[in-house]
Every structure is written in C-alpha cells, then in structure tokens.
Amino acid sequence: METRPAPLDGMNQDDGLDEFRVSSPREIQGLLKQLLDGSVLLNLNASDGSVFTSAIWTLDSSRGTVGFNADPNDPAMQALLEGEEVVVVGYLDSVKLQFDVHDLVLVHGNKASVLSCPAPREMYRFQRRNAFRVRPLMRTSPVARIRHPDMPEMEFSLRVMDVSIGGCGLFLPEDVPTMNAGVLLQDVRIELDTDTKLEVSMCLQHVTSINAEARGVRLGFEFKRVGGDSLRSLQRFIDLTQKRGKLMALN
C-alpha cells in the first residue's frame, strides 16, 4: 500500500486535479469523521521526510479543528511541530486520502496529548494504485522513450508493461544497462496509444526479476511531475482499458 504523499506539485494547474479534489466543507467533515470512527492509521509527513503515524482523536466541527493522537517522546512528531507544513495520508477501503494541515500545536490533556490544528480546507481522493493498474491491450505497442542516466546521448524505447495513475512498469531488456533505485528520469515521453501521449518525470522505485525466459527485468517507476492534461488523458486510458478488458473476459 502506497503511504507516501502523491506528487501534486507537478499537477497543480487550476483544472488538473479537479476530479480528485474535495473542497466541500460538508464532504471534508464527512471524510474526517469516517477516519475518526474507523480509527484509521494516518501517516503525517513532515517536510524533512520524517513520518509520524497517528490517528484522529478529536474532531470539533464548530471550531473547525482536528486533533491527532500524539506521542511527545517520538522524534518524528517533534519534526512535525518544527515544520511549516504537514501532509497527511491515509486510506478508506481502496481510496487514498491526502490533505495538508498547518499550525500544529501540541496540547497536553489529563489522559493524553493531542496534536491540534485547523481542519483542512481541501482534500484529495485517489483510488489505490493497485486497483487502477492496467496492462495495455496486446494490439497496442505502448512505449516509454527515455534517456538512460549512464548514456544520456542515446534514447531508448522501453515497452510499457503496466500503468496506473501514479506510475508505470517498464521492461528493460538484458542487453540494456540496468538502473539503480532512486534515479530520476526527466522529460520521459510515454506513448500508450494514438490518443494518449504523456510528458513526465519519474523516479525508479524498484527493479524486479520476471523469469529466466523473459530476458529482462521490470522497472517500477513513480510519476513525479504530470501535467493536468496528461493526468486526465491517462485516467481516460486506464478507464477505457479496464472496460475493454472486462468485455474481452465476457467474450
């Protein structure tokens, strides 16, 4: 399960995230209450990379505040208090919720301590990546055109094995030098079909062996910067591929 914040910086055009954004105060309050009632574990991500796992302890709709369980002795929690912005990530079933909180204050009570802050004014709701990942249909030949970090003067076309709203899997043939996890590829052009072409930056998360006969490995990438138009185009491609796959299964 992906518990890191989605990379929104590259998708912050006025309309690029509309389909994921929740801005209705009533709807936000409802989602927060579900997190509270379910004692859902949340990752509070500080700007320095520290992560403090907590859950919502109190929700005051009249004051517009939310309180998280606190542990004053946890160094990760101290990093939250010292930073200006915290990104909260958690799941309701297969839906990933993400929202920013500001002005965290540690409040000591008789029985427990609470991290209190104003309730978020907007949230983002994403389907879990695994639920959205699709394999392109065989009649298409989707590729990603990249420049290998060790050979930037050459462009390689790698086959797209699968794709999701958050990343993709590429097939790296055994005759192409491998890459190390953490490498960032800029200006990657992904061509999924005639109508779906993306310009993205992406970070290599893992390298996975397939089988001896495959003569290559799978590279798992996370998208880092995706424009609003590309995001909507990718979402349409995923939805259409899912529908076509279901029709083929019925036949």
Are 119 and 143 part of one and the same domain? Answer: no
Question: Which helix (DSSP H) or strand (DSSP E) does residue 231 occupy?
Answer: helix 228-250
**Alpha carbon distances (Å) from 156 to 54, 85, 159, 188:** 44, 39, 10, 10
Residue 235 has a pLDDT of 82
Per-residue pLDDT reduced to its tens digit, 7-63: 565 554 444 566 678 888 988 999 999 899 888 888 898 888 888 888 999 999 899
The structure tokens listed for 244 are: 């076509």
Question: Which helix (DSSP H) or strand (DSSP E) does residue 243 occupy?
Answer: helix 228-250
E runs forming strands in 155-213: 155-163, 167-173, 184-193, 196-209
The share of the chain scoring above pLDDT 70, in percent, equals: 82
Burial of residue 45 (number of CB atoms within 10 Å: 0-12, 13-18, 19+): buried
Rounded Cα distance, 155 and 44, in Å: 39
* Number of structural domains the chain divides into: 2
Print the domain residue range for 123: 9-13+20-127
Are 136 and 236 part of one and the same domain? Answer: yes
Picking from 77, 100, 127, the residue at the C-terminal end of a domain is 127
Residue 114 domain-assigned?
yes
Residue 1 domain-assigned?
no
**Alpha carbon distances (Å) from 38 to 33, 57, 161:** 8, 11, 36
Average pLDDT over residues 55-74: 91
Residue 12 has a pLDDT of 46
Are 122 and 209 part of one and the same domain? Answer: no
Picking from 127, 151, 169, the residue at the C-terminal end of a domain is 127
**Alpha carbon distances (Å) from 137 to 32, 161, 193, 243:** 39, 10, 10, 11
Per-residue pLDDT reduced to its tens digit, 126-147: 765 444 566 665 556 899 999 9
Are 137 and 167 part of one and the same domain? Answer: yes
Picking from 127, 162, 177, the residue at the C-terminal end of a domain is 127
pTM: 0.51
Per-residue pLDDT reduced to its tens digit, 172-226: 998 888 888 888 999 999 999 888 888 889 988 888 777 667 788 889 888 887 7
C-beta of residue 86 within 8 angstroms of C-beta of residue 119: no
Rounded Cα distance, 240 and 126, in Å: 18
Rounded Cα distance, 185 and 202, in Å: 5
Are 54 and 153 part of one and the same domain? Answer: no
Is the per-residue pLDDT at 164 higher than 50?
yes
Rounded Cα distance, 142 and 197, in Å: 10
The β-bridge partners of 169 are: 162, 220
Other C-beta atoms closer than 10 Å to the C-beta of 236 total: 12
Are 136 and 243 part of one and the same domain? Answer: yes
CATH number, position 188: 2.40.10.220
CA angle in degrees (0–180, nearest 5) for 5-148-153: 135
* Among candidate residues 166, 158, 176, 172, the one with its CA nearest the CA of residue 203: 166
Residue 188 domain-assigned?
yes
Rounded Cα distance, 186 and 178, in Å: 17
Are 76 and 146 part of one and the same domain? Answer: no
The β-bridge partners of 21 are: 124
Are 188 and 175 part of one and the same domain? Answer: yes
Residue 172 phi, psi (nearest 5):
-105, 110
